Structure 1
């Protein structure tokens, strides 16, 4: 009787250690769209569309547009959320509930969606001078040098498109970079770029970008997407050795 009980305990322990996904998990992670609409194995509370919209356009306030962004950039952000490199109460929980394949699938799904129209009427106002030129005297690098003259993204090293994002979201990210609450940029490129920005300058940049039309990621971003994904899969320490021109931020 003692032997039988030991065997039962052993089998119970082995069953508890079995991490093979069940049929339910496999169903809810079948592809990126299913994950976005269901939350995957994490359940309905993790469904992406509840914040980012059915069209991936965001909520116009705090949740950014995902549709049409570079797949490599999107997956890197999910990997950074999951690892804690980009801490966020909601997104860390959501990203951790997915495995790397699930994060890849949902990133590819949103990247393939057409960018929706900007939620703010298009403005013909010129870009703020600080956005186009920076201010070398204060160590401020021009945003346009990485993100393009209209915020369209450069397609180099995963520098993302930032046009058409809600002003409140962009301003929040600038504030996080400045405060050190967001640190998933190699060698502190983004933190250094915004460190000396004044509050009025940051607001002007965020407001102007929100009026710029969103567009599909540059064709050249496809070549850098795989590099971004590979970088996201490496330990955080190794990512710090990348070249400083790669921002991967915003």
Structure 2
């Protein structure tokens, strides 16, 4: 850990130097280097400064990236860069990276180890498993699994994320503040949720066991293909001389 921290700090400091193609190429050498240096976006956009050296987030409002599907992570970076998923800080971090950079950093975070999952301490909220009869509220488990482990391509694992982060995302889906879901699936799914239900879901998911990385690359291939199909976001921003 000390060696990783030292290398990260060296990259963090070095990223403040020149901006020509020779000096910036070193900061996009691989996914770890991008995460530690911010790539061409520079030290102020280094991923580890918010998501941690281990990719586990801050346990409050910054999500865990370690162990998530690489294709899903790449798609989020593409969506941040294209402002389909609006967040000023993540826009700045993602817009400097081209498609290869985003693929590399996504793959690095996906490969990071996660703590072994413990048995869930509480059952999921009824709305998670069954939806709400008599209202247009589908069961969350249909897409995200009974334990939040994710179901197939495009339906990510959501267990083990901070409650505050999950609640914020649910609110954004509900109010239209987040809109990067294919065919508005998430927006429609949460439209009928109450604040109480959203809080219950977020609190339970925080205690649910973290899903192991996908055994198949099906989700990765699917999400990566969708991300790469958006060239306006994939090109990224390039500093002078690149």
TM-score (norm 2): 0.84
What residue number does 1:10 align with?
none
What residue number does 2:47 align with?
48
* Structure 1 residue matching 2:115: 3-state secondary structure: coil
What residue number does 2:121 align with?
124
Query: How many aligned positions are there?
Result: 213
What residue number does 2:157 align with?
161
Contact 2:137 2:192 in 1 (8 A): yes
Structure 1 gaps, min length 5: 1-19, 237-250
Describe the superposition over 1:185-224 as per-residue Cα deviations: whole angstroms up to 9, x where unpaired: 111100010011000100000000000121322313x112
Q: CA deviation at 1:117?
A: 6.1
Could you list the structure 1 runs, at least 4 aligned residues long, displaced by more than 3 angstroms after superposition. Answer: none
Q: CA 1:54/1:122 → structure 2, altered by over 3 Å: closer, same or farther?
A: farther
What residue number does 1:174 align with?
170
Q: CA deviation at 1:113?
A: 0.5
Q: Distance in 2 between matches of 1:126 and 1:69?
A: 23
Contact 2:69 2:219 in 1 (8 A): no
Describe the superposition over 1:88-131 as per-residue Cα deviations: whole angstroms up to 9, x where unpaired: 1000111001111110000000000012368xx97521110100
Q: Distance in 2 between matches of 1:136 and 1:199?
A: 17
Contact 1:67 1:116 in 2 (8 A): no
* Structure 1 residue matching 2:75: 3-state secondary structure: helix
Contact 1:74 1:107 in 2 (8 A): yes
What residue number does 1:115 align with?
114
Within a 5 Å distance, the mapping from 1:185-200 to structure 2 comes to 185-200=181-196
Q: Which has the larger radius of gyration?
A: 1
Q: Distance in 1 between matches of 2:180 and 2:116?
A: 28
The CA RMSD measured in Å over matched residues stands at 1.8
Q: Distance in 2 between matches of 1:144 and 1:217?
A: 18
Contact 1:151 1:162 in 2 (8 A): yes
What residue number does 1:218 align with?
214
Give yes or no for the alignment of 1:183 onto 2:182: no
What residue number does 1:65 align with?
64
Q: Distance in 2 between matches of 1:46 and 1:116?
A: 26
Within a 5 Å distance, the mapping from 1:123-162 to structure 2 comes to 123-154=120-151, 156-162=152-158
What residue number does 2:79 align with?
80
* Structure 2 residue matching 1:75: 3-state secondary structure: helix
